[in-house]
Structure 1
Amino acid sequence: MSHADVASGDEKNSVPGLFTLVLHTHLPWLAHHGRWPVGEEWLYQSWSAAYLPLIRVLRTLAAENRRHLITLGITPVVAAQLDDPYCLQGMNHWLANWQLRALEASTTRSSEPGAPPASQPQALRQFGVREYEEAERELGEFDALWRHGASPLFRELLDNQTIELLGGPLAHPFQPLLNPRLREFALREGLADAHTRFAHRPSGIWAPECAYAPGMEIGYDDAGVTHFMVDGPSLRGDTSLGRPVGGSDVVAFGRDLQVSYRVWSPKSGYPGHSAYRDFHTYDHATGLKPARVTGRNVPSDAKAPYDPARADAAVDVHVADFVDTVRRRLAAESERIGRPAHVVAAFDTELFGHWWYEGPVWLERVLRALPAAGVRVGTLSDAIAEGYVGAPVDLPPSSWGSGKDWQVWSGDQVADLVQLNSEVVDAALSTVDKALAHGAALGSPTPRDFVADQILRETLLTVSSDWPFMVSKDSAADYARYRAHLHAHATREISDALASGRREHAQQLADGWNRADGLFGALDARRLPAT
């Protein structure tokens, strides 16, 4: 079946070109590293609010014979957590606790003096009943579908061509600032990790933070990557076609900001509508979010109770608005370039449900409404196969962060982390090289070295792009610095023991750190590129 299996509306109303929705699914490694307010709670909230509903939406649409719906990036670090037995057990407990909190809300009879409108007994009871039913549904789905992790679910969606998969490097490093050897290793191991989990090797990637440095396309080509995402300004705003980069055949696709920002931008977007559930306002007794946005300048203690019917009506308005925006953009860009154009809207997956509660409903409706309105929907791979590729381009150093450059990950605020990363990586690579050389000297072939593997694992966790991002954005900055230095300490501690000849102690340390940081079990230091 092709992505044209489901009727695409009245041919007379069709517009030229192709629309692609790209979702980027990423969180840092959170298991065993704190619970609240930052830590595992972040994982379980995103899992419940975004990942479970996303799977539900995609399975529902797949059952309607809809194919090639979205291009879905899943970073190896998220995939590892969604398959991890510890995380699966923790998620089951979290869902049960959510149901208990909803039960508490549904039976409340009193409130503290001066409680906000949404926490008044009648409003909270009504909200609690709905939350209880939602928690019960998710517990049932989790038990029926997720018992063996996320990989079988994503594999099913890949097998029936509901989605295209984008991969990425292990632990989500900011690649332009990374030692080239470790950069190559992280990418190749990340692609191999996806192939192991999903039985599909991604041909495209979501480069962490959409970060690019000139020449990176050569490494992509060598690793078998055929396409990757950048932000719109990297293509100087002309995102109407994919572009081969430099002298390579690797295609860069740019995020269309005019369309993407209609949904979510640094300053506006649908989730801020007064009818939608407010992300920031909690009922302190239950930890639930029973209020609606109400108004941009309305304080939390004055926000109105959430009204599902009001929110549902707003979803329909925003579906219609988005479809109209895409139609107009495709028509205008096709006319401008004199050929059918390609429009790419790209977002973090966690927007849909975690940050914007109504997002999954909007997503399901918009993926039906677009083809019904004459918009062809396909994946990035479809765009290449169908010729939505223009002339080669030389990309500038860029990212999708503030300023569209590297400042979030290399600026003065995080200069200490940049220095830390450089020192840790250099020391780790030197230690691993010596360990593997010593192993090779003992005989052939070189045996696998668990200690060297753990050194590289902790190194990759040290250089995760999440830590400088959180510091630059002042979002749990203390936690981010703690995590960066914790993994740096682990790397150094194991490396120092190994370098000083205390192999048994190094093994004990590696075993200990692996109990917390045992992700990427197939990571093999022997595949580290030679100097």
Structure 2
Amino acid sequence: MSDPIGSFSLVLHSHLPWLPHHGAWPVGEEWLYQAWAHSYLPVLDLVREFAEEGRTDVLTLGVTPVLAAQLDDPHALRAFHDWLGMWQLRAHSAAVRWQRDDPLLRELAAAEHRASSRALEEFETRWRHGFSPVLRPLVDAGVVELLGGPATHPFQPLLDPRVRRFALAEGLADTALRLGRAPEGIWAPECGYAPGMEAGYAAAGVRRFLVDGPSTRGETHAGRPVGSSDVVAFARDLNVTYRVWSPKAGYPGHDAYRDFHTYDHPSGLKPARVTGKQVPPERKRPYDPLLARDAIRRHADDFVSTVVSRLKDLQAEQGAPGLVVAAYDTELYGHWWHEGPEWLRQVLRMLPEAGVRVTTLRGAQAAGHVGDPIELPASSWGSGKDWRVWDGAQVSDLVAAGASVQAELLSVVDDHGGAARDFVLDQIAREALLALSSDWAFMVTKDSAAQYARDRAAEHQRRFTELAALVRAGRPALDLARRYWASDGIFGRLDARALRQ
């Protein structure tokens, strides 16, 4: 390729809250296994395809420590293998039921059988020992840049500085344990930022992180050092990012794509295409892969044209090649948007052909896509680009409970921690971090499985309070801590002593 017109960095954020042993359907472990089968397997397969071609710096992949722990968890690995087998059986069942129906439905059942067979083979040959052995060679070879984050994905601006420091340190250490090194970059949970957080990032060895476009007043053409630090913030280019997915529109809503919300309930498969936004489920047309294939190509062309146009405008404005950062949840590709992985494959092949340098955030920083320092405002990537989703009136009770948990956590560790590691205090810290997951407030504010979210937050708060009360009273708590560890034994090296003053 001749001199590129600019650089493009795709950033994928892979995250689900801790789900093993906490329900199955409609929210619980099923959520994990659907995303695993339909997003994590195909996206990693796509990355490996580029690796085998010798490509490096293909994309920046954020994997939260809490998700990585689930994808390495023995219980989850066994249960996911069972889930894949059931997927294949469900495809068999649908094939029998749809034998005399529309030919498109018969083909859909056959396609589901082929997909489940590929997933089973992929899992049994590459994934049986977990996610980390699959990801590490891709990270070591520089095919992807890995982003980490705080342990359980808490909304950091609402954390006490000691808890914030502890959550980030534990998350980075857990990633280093799984992959051999701590990541230099993080996806800040919910892109949440409060002024001064860059100092904590610098102290933890973090060199770059993500914010949303409005945080830099829409100037997203380069990373920006934050304040007086050397920590660089990269901002999503919403002009480009929203072509794919925005609060109101995006490619996945096209009428030819597979409809996420319409189920064939006997099999659990999704047999319909979107058909139309106002079309009720019973009137949606059967999914047609040929129509979807045409839509994928058109939308890949549109996205590449959008990136090229944006980079040409930036070059004209800045007098030098610029950078476009497009960032999304990994679960969009395959889980929410069935055709997403194939669209991604085409885009990542077409961009270099169009004169665009595809790279990672690390590669963009090394290439000099870094501008002048900036003072960032309090911000997030949520509604209003402020903190309202995680600190609004609808979740004021969760915020108050979270503040109480943090205060008691610090107090009990200071008052009762000794020189030796304490299993009970470690479990107390573990339950506190699980209670502080940002997912619970998000799900309540967005009214998405809100009761499940409230129940999960309350459960971890109750366990935390029960253990802390036993410690304060000087009563035995080891058996109870072990019982909670059996279901929530996440982050085995977590050490509550690091919270002490």
Q: 1:54 aligns with which of 38, 43, 57?
A: 43
Superposed displacement of residue 109, structure 1: 5.3
Task: Indicate conservation of the 8 Å contact 2:99/2:106, yes or no.
Answer: no
Alignment-derived partner of residue 176 in structure 2: 195
Structure-2 separation of matches of 1:512 and 1:74? 28
Specify the SS of the correspondent of 1:353.
coil
Indicate whether 1:395 and 2:368 are aligned. no
Task: Indicate conservation of the 8 Å contact 1:262/1:269, yes or no.
Answer: yes
Alignment-derived partner of residue 348 in structure 2: 367
Indicate whether 1:510 and 2:499 are aligned. no
1:29-40 alignment to 2 at 5 Å?
29-40=18-29
Alignment-derived partner of residue 6 in structure 2: 17
Superposed displacement of residue 301, structure 1: 0.7
Alignment-derived partner of residue 288 in structure 2: 307
Letter of the 1:509 partner, please give it: L
**Cα RMSD between the aligned structures?**
1.1
Task: Indicate conservation of the 8 Å contact 1:71/1:379, yes or no.
Answer: yes
Task: Indicate conservation of the 8 Å contact 2:223/2:233, yes or no.
Answer: yes
Letter of the 1:512 partner, please give it: R
1:324-403 alignment to 2 at 5 Å?
324-403=305-384
Alignment-derived partner of residue 32 in structure 2: 43
Superposed displacement of residue 460, structure 1: 0.3
Indicate whether 1:498 and 2:487 are aligned. no
Letter of the 1:183 partner, please give it: R
Alignment-derived partner of residue 494 in structure 2: 523
Letter of the 1:94 partner, please give it: W
Task: Indicate conservation of the 8 Å contact 2:258/2:337, yes or no.
Answer: yes
Alignment-derived partner of residue 489 in structure 1: 462
Structure-1 separation of matches of 2:441 and 2:348? 35
**TM-score computed with the length of structure 2 as normaliser:** 0.98
Structure-1 separation of matches of 2:127 and 2:207? 31
Unaligned runs of 5+ in 1: 1-7, 112-119, 440-445
1:430-441 alignment to 2 at 5 Å?
430-436=411-417, 439=418
1:12-411 alignment to 2 at 5 Å?
15-108=4-97, 120=101, 122-411=103-392
Structure-2 separation of matches of 1:110 and 1:142? 29
Alignment-derived partner of residue 442 in structure 1: none
Moved more, 314-323 or 467-476: 314-323
Q: 1:458 aligns with which of 397, 421, 431?
A: 431
Letter of the 2:137 partner, please give it: E
Task: Indicate conservation of the 8 Å contact 1:108/1:124, yes or no.
Answer: no
Specify the SS of the correspondent of 1:107.
helix
Task: Indicate conservation of the 8 Å contact 2:218/2:237, yes or no.
Answer: yes
Letter of the 2:151 partner, please give it: L
Task: Indicate conservation of the 8 Å contact 2:105/2:287, yes or no.
Answer: no
Superposed displacement of residue 200, structure 1: 2.5
Superposed displacement of residue 121, structure 1: 5.9
Superposed displacement of residue 294, structure 1: 1.0
Task: Indicate conservation of the 8 Å contact 2:155/2:192, yes or no.
Answer: yes
Specify the SS of the correspondent of 1:253.
strand
Letter of the 1:391 partner, please give it: D
Superposed displacement of residue 123, structure 1: 4.0
Superposed displacement of residue 122, structure 1: 4.5
Superposed displacement of residue 15, structure 1: 4.4
Moved more, 380-389 or 216-225: 380-389
Structure-1 separation of matches of 2:464 and 2:374? 39
Distance 1:469 1:170, change over 3 A: same
Letter of the 2:259 partner, please give it: D
Structure-2 separation of matches of 1:75 and 1:301? 38
Task: Indicate conservation of the 8 Å contact 1:108/1:125, yes or no.
Answer: no
Task: Indicate conservation of the 8 Å contact 2:34/2:335, yes or no.
Answer: yes
1:137-175 alpha-carbon deviations (Å, 9 max, x no partner): 100100000010000111010111110000100000000
Identity %: 58
Alignment-derived partner of residue 476 in structure 1: 449
Superposed displacement of residue 525, structure 1: 1.1
Alignment-derived partner of residue 414 in structure 1: 395
Specify the SS of the correspondent of 2:356.
coil
Alignment-derived partner of residue 447 in structure 1: 420
Letter of the 1:470 partner, please give it: M
Structure-2 separation of matches of 1:172 and 1:109? 43
Superposed displacement of residue 189, structure 1: 1.0
Letter of the 1:171 partner, please give it: T
1:73-119 alpha-carbon deviations (Å, 9 max, x no partner): 000000000000000011001111111100000111589xxxxxxxx
Structure-1 separation of matches of 2:416 and 2:102? 64
1:444-498 alpha-carbon deviations (Å, 9 max, x no partner): xx21111111000000000100000000000000000000000000100000001
1:495-518 alpha-carbon deviations (Å, 9 max, x no partner): 00011001x2x1111111111100
Distance 1:46 1:453, change over 3 A: same
Alignment-derived partner of residue 3 in structure 1: none
Specify the SS of the correspondent of 1:164.
strand
Specify the SS of the correspondent of 1:365.
helix
Task: Indicate conservation of the 8 Å contact 2:104/2:288, yes or no.
Answer: no
Superposed displacement of residue 124, structure 1: 3.0
Unaligned runs of 5+ in 2: none
Letter of the 1:338 partner, please give it: G
Structure-2 separation of matches of 1:379 and 1:298? 40
Letter of the 1:69 partner, please give it: V
Specify the SS of the correspondent of 2:97.
coil
Structure-1 separation of matches of 2:108 and 2:172? 43
Structure-2 separation of matches of 1:299 and 1:273? 15
Alignment-derived partner of residue 443 in structure 1: none
Superposed displacement of residue 125, structure 1: 2.6
1:411-434 alpha-carbon deviations (Å, 9 max, x no partner): 100000000001111112211222
